[in-house]
Homo-oligomer: A and B are copies of this chain.
Amino acid sequence: VNATAAVDGEPDRTWRVGELADRTGVTVRALHHYHEIGLLVPSLRSHAGHRYYSGADVRRLHRILALRGFGLSLAEIGQVLDGVEVDARELIRHQLDQVDERIATAHRLRHSLLGVLGALDQSAEPSAAQLIELIEVMTTVETQLTREQFEQMAENRRKAAEALSPDQLAEMNRRRSQSMEQLSAEQRTEMQRRRSALMPHGGDGPAVF
């Protein structure tokens, strides 16, 4: 391998750490870090200690960034690039499993969050106290709300609303519609579904989570 090979048609040129950072979007600190752990050691250093990266170094950085994009740790990247015997298929399949799990977890969380948001949006005063009450009920009944409990919560909300002045109520409604506007179309339709399942007129014992 010739370390002085051309990159971008400019033979033998080198890059300073800041230039490389600008071109690749990584920070200078990250490049220092890669140097520290031996993942990317610049081929040249000036007498003052300045790092100069050769074309080969730049290509290695590109590989590093690609593998990093696949979710590999820096240690794993080092293994792959330094020719440690790895089963590439196994490696990628493992990443795939991980990402699938992340997606599933995230979807469950999203589902819960939409449920909570739907409940909060029916509240006149979506305070921390309201959120805690919601959690209280949820955890107490182990992720299941009966109709009576739901109606009790609605009653509590009505009482809270009655205690508010018309000005406060108007402000709450303004905030609520603003809240809706900030949701994406997708988030909105899913929330509608969730809310209709939540409402007591839909049947008995609707599940929240």
Contacts and interface: CB of A to CB of B under 8 A. Distances in A.
A138 B66 contact: yes
Given A67-B135, A83-B128, A110-B103, A187 B96 contact: yes
Contacts of A184: 100
A134 to B, nearest CB: 8
A154 interface: no
Given A80-B128, A132-B80, A102 B93 contact: no
A128 B95 contact: no
A117 B92 contact: yes
A144 interface: no
Contact of A88 (B66, B126, B138): B126
Interface residues of A, number: 56
Contacts of A106: 99, 102-103, 106
A70 B113 contact: yes
Interface of A: 62-63, 66-67, 69-71, 79-81, 83-93, 95-96, 99-100, 102-103, 106-107, 109-110, 112-114, 116-117, 120-121, 126-132, 135-136, 138-139, 175-176, 179, 182-184, 187
